Structure 1
Amino acid sequence: MSLLIKNARLVHVDHTDAQTSDVYVVEGRIAGINEVPVGCVPSQTLDAGGRKMSFALADLAVRLSEKGGNQRDVMADVLSAAVAGGVAHVACLPDGSPILDEPLLIDILRNKSEALGLAHVHVLGALTQDLKGTQLAELVTLAEHGCIAFTQADEPIQDTQILQRALSYAASFKLPVWLRATDFYLGGGFAASGAYASRLGLSGVPVAAETIALLTLFELLHSMGAQAPKVHIARISSARAVELIRQAKAQGLSITCDVNMHHLHLVDTDMGYFNNQYVFNPPLRSSSDRSALRAAVLDGTIDAVVSDHVAVDFDAKQLPVGQTQAGAVGTQWLISLLVQLALEERVDIANALAAAVSRVYPILGLPAPEWTVGAVADLVVFDDDAYQPLTEALVRGHHYNTPYLGFELPVEVWATLVAGRVVHAQA
């Protein structure tokens, strides 16, 4: 099968082409750029009409089952939303139903996702059995069945000795570990500690909940020296965390990190008077934290921006703020919020998209994508000049828990290709 995408402006690592290019795809890979491959007669042609084309996005924090309620399987909805938003790679967190801590469950999930033929699914296995933080899961066996890394999702490990053993065991088999930085005792709450949470009478989560966990983790990694495993730190939320991660990277620790896309655009006071759509884990913080997070994304200190996609049962989301299930859907508009970031910070969109493409593929164990012959054709063609209101009719799936419903967002995804196949296209 061969395909020609013509008149597309290519988005590179640090810039976007001013001129258009023609890209030839053969058997799922790029076979030529502005040069017809020998013997290639395209069976399909897409005219991008001057729209931009990037390698497709990778989202490192997605759940494929519902939170709250009956915890229904929503894989088809989520993967459909992903490709509608130009996301071709999805990292599935293990804290769904059932928890991904057994080889058979990994096999079932992978087979089902492959049968759907939408986005690539990269499975994250549970680091401890049932995510309880007391006994390690069968990490090597899970890796043999396709898990790319191991994590506790949002569940902190209370016992530091268990964390140390987990890191040592993972290092022995060169298995990456992904961890949320949150202290078990300080992490419970529905808003960031401060005047706003106090005024609303909400239990607060201090920045120290994040920094204490980071300092503990870094000390453990330093003590392991060259034997330390690769660690990805998930969903930081504070300026102080940015400082600590920047220092740790300068000291040579093998770490990467990400931030929830909502923390780049929203702050604690956006919750207004108990709007449960603004409840996240970790909670939204101050405008100074948001500014530090934005700067860290653009300078590369924060490697990735994620949607932290959580499909929440309607009844579970409608509970009062102190009881509601945290989280929002959003993999479908990850690209929109990245482009919005670029527009507001007045940088080329390539600088923002790097946090979901070139810097993120290697975290999944994939080569950083480049516009060269032989690269896998996971691609997205989009119009960043188009704005559209986020309505329930636009949302893929049956979950509408998002603070952006009714907002007008940039970017219309015109086509998404996964391994050279068109899996989404505008009618």
Structure 2
Amino acid sequence: MKHAATGAIAHQPLALVNARLVDPVRETEERGGVLVIDGTIRDFGPQVAAAALPPHAHIIDCGGDVVAPGLIDMCAFVGEPGAEHRETIATATAAAAAGGVTTILARPDTNPPIDEPAVVDFLLRRARDNGLVRVLPVAALTRGLHGEEIAEIGLLKEAGAVAFSDGPQSLRNTRVMRRIMAYARDFDALIMHFAQDCDLTTDGVMNEGELAARLGLPGVPREAEVIMLDRDIRLVALTRARYHATLISTTLSLDAIRAAKAAGLPITCGTSINHLALNENDIGDYRTFLKLTPPLRREEERRALVEALAEGLIDVIVSDHNPQDVETKRLPFAEAEPGAIGLETMLSAGLRLVHAGEITLPRLLAAMSSRPAEILGLPQGKMEIGAPADLIRFDPDEPYVLDPATLHSRCKNTPFDEARMQGRVKLTMVAGELVWREE
């Protein structure tokens, strides 16, 4: 691995040539190169070739690999402050850089939670000093994540929070949620909510159905997700607040989102790469690394999610990066903590869908880069002159077997342990600086 290059690299003209350029905004591909000067894209296309560049330019021949905007992950746990035994900004951003993720949205469920401007400032400073990629704070909807008192959304946004969420827990109180939406609307703040009826999921540990019954495990019904989502959609219609359903996993939720979008409501949604690439059968013999929230669903649900992604109904793919240490995962399935790491494997797992012919490469990259940037109002995620040079180079076809020991995350709870994968990131650039380069 190569860490960030010296300042000279950022100001020296740098060109990635002989590449397969993928534009996720227009969802197009062409052969050519990208010229980067002073951290921004100055030119791209067939005209950017080694023979046409000045002699002092730093030229990287990509050998036909894909070059595209860096990925933007809207749901990741980075550990700081308070959970450095699970992850740190340094380890999370190293994993992100190795996986082609150039921007991480950090979940607010830290200790203390991100519910005060001072904590937002702390996270931004730590990311500046210790991070290889961009780390943007998601602040809490409620103080202490308790679901009762509204956080100071205006002050938190002014301090640098890009969105608002209570992390992996749902806000039960409808009256409080309505007040939050009305408050957030006045600041044009984005609400990111994890929709799940807590009263229906208290004891559940996997998808409710025949497999759960055979394994002797309590199930989580699909309805738990859509009940909360339906409530939120009605509140969006009432308040017109901007709303993003962080993780959806069922056809019931897809139907609700489709109706909401058809009605013109300001609603977007995401799903995790795990729910697109895996199903409940992968749990096999009680594999706790596949215990997730929401749980993995049936294969029919997985296919429906992929189809919704292909048609554009699902806006965003996230890693749902949630590191858990050995003590919380090497337990009986019902007792293990839910969660899996995913920053470093999100792209490779997504490429499974491309290789299977279920989705095009530009559409996959749009859901991982340009669409998140559009929802968040970020300048990244574009193959465009003047855009920040957050770029990745990867070979979508290179095969490998995933060895968890080689992953950069502090924890190794990957659901793709020893899986056959395709797609290697060879270079990651943030604002024109090389933060990862395969040796």
TM-score, with normalisation over the residues of structure 2? 0.92
Show the counterpart of 1:164. 178
String of CA shifts for 1:38-75, please: whole Å, max 9, x gaps.
99654422111111111111111111118998755521
| Cα distance between partner residues in 1 of 2:89 and 2:433 | 20
Q: Secondary structure at the match of 1:393?
A: helix
Describe the shift of the 1:110–1:245 C-alpha distance in structure 2 as closer, same or farther (beyond 3 A). same
Deviations 1:159-182 (A, max 9, x none): 111111111111122211100111
Gaps of 5+ in 2: 1-10
How does 1:35-54 map onto structure 2 within 5 Å? 35=47, 42-54=56-68
Residues 360-410 of structure 1, C-alpha deviation per residue, up to 9 Å, x if partnerless? Answer: 211221147443321211100000110111103321133110121101111
**C-alpha distance in 2, partners of 1:70/1:60?**
20
Residues of 2 paired with 1:347 and 1:284: CA distance?
Answer: 20
Which has the higher mean CA deviation after the structures are superposed, 228-237 or 351-360?
A: 351-360
CA contact (8 A) 2:95 2:408 kept: yes
Change beyond 3 A, Cα 1:346–1:204: closer
User: Which region of structure 1 is more displaced relative to structure 2, 264-273 or 101-110?
Assistant: 264-273
Q: Which residue of 1 aligns with 2:4?
A: none
- The residue that corresponds to 2:423 in the other structure is 411
Secondary structure of 1:177's counterpart equals strand
* Local SS of the residue matching 2:293: coil
- 1:65 and 2:79 aligned: yes
**Equivalent residue number for residue 351 of structure 2:** 339
Match of 1:204 in 2: 219
1:236 deviates by: 0.4
Q: Aligned pair 1:219/2:240, yes or no?
A: no
RMSD: 2.1
> Could you tell me how far 1:218 is from its partner in structure 2?
1.2
Structure 2 partner of 1:180 = 194
Query: Which residue, 309, 330, 342 being the options, matches 1:318?
Result: 330
Q: Alpha carbons of 1:193 and 1:65: their partners in 2 closer, same or farther (altered >3 Å)?
A: same
Match of 1:144 in 2: 158
Check the 8 A contact 1:67/1:310 in 2, yes or no: no
Cα distance in 1, alignment partners of residues 243 and 376 from structure 2: 12
Q: What corresponds to 1:5 in structure 2?
A: 16
- Point out the more displaced range, 368-377 or 54-63: 368-377
CA distance in 2, matches of 1:67, 1:143: 19
1:22 aligns with 2:22: no
The runs of 5 or more residues in structure 1 that have no matched partner are: none
The alpha-carbon deviation at position 209 of structure 1 amounts to 0.5
State the SS of the aligned residue for 1:90.
Answer: strand
Q: Which moved more, 1:39-48 or 1:388-397?
A: 39-48
1:395 aligns with 2:395: no
1:251/1:7 CA distance change after superposition, 3 Å: same
**Distance of aligned partners of 1:266 and 1:39 in 2 relative to their CA distance in 1, 3 Å threshold:** closer
Aligned counterpart for 2:320 among listed residues 308, 329, 345: 308
Residue 248 (structure 1) aligns with:
260
In 1, Cα distance between equivalents of 2:269 and 2:197: 17
Contact 1:66–1:310 (8 Å) recurs in 2: no
Matched positions, count: 423
Determine if contact 1:361/1:367 at 8 Å carries over to the other structure.
yes
Name the amino acid aligned to 1:350.
P
- Tell me the secondary structure at the aligned position of residue 388 of structure 1: strand
- Secondary structure of 1:174's counterpart equals coil
Question: Taking every aligned residue pair, what percent have the same amino acid on both sides?
Answer: 34
**1:350 maps to which residue?**
362
- Distance in 2 (CA, whole Å) between partners of 1:370 and 1:274 is 41
Report deviation, 1:320.
1.3
The change in CA–CA distance for 1:171 and 1:15 in structure 2 (over 3 A counts) is closer
Give the 3-state SS of the residue equivalent to 2:347 in structure 1.
helix
Q: Distance in 1 between matches of 2:365 and 2:79?
A: 27
Aligned match of 1:363:
375
Listed one character per residue, the Cα deviations across residues 54-98 of structure 1 (whole Å, up to 9, x for unaligned) are: 111111111111899875552111100001011101111101233
1:327 aligns with 2:342: no
- 1:347 CA displacement: 4.0
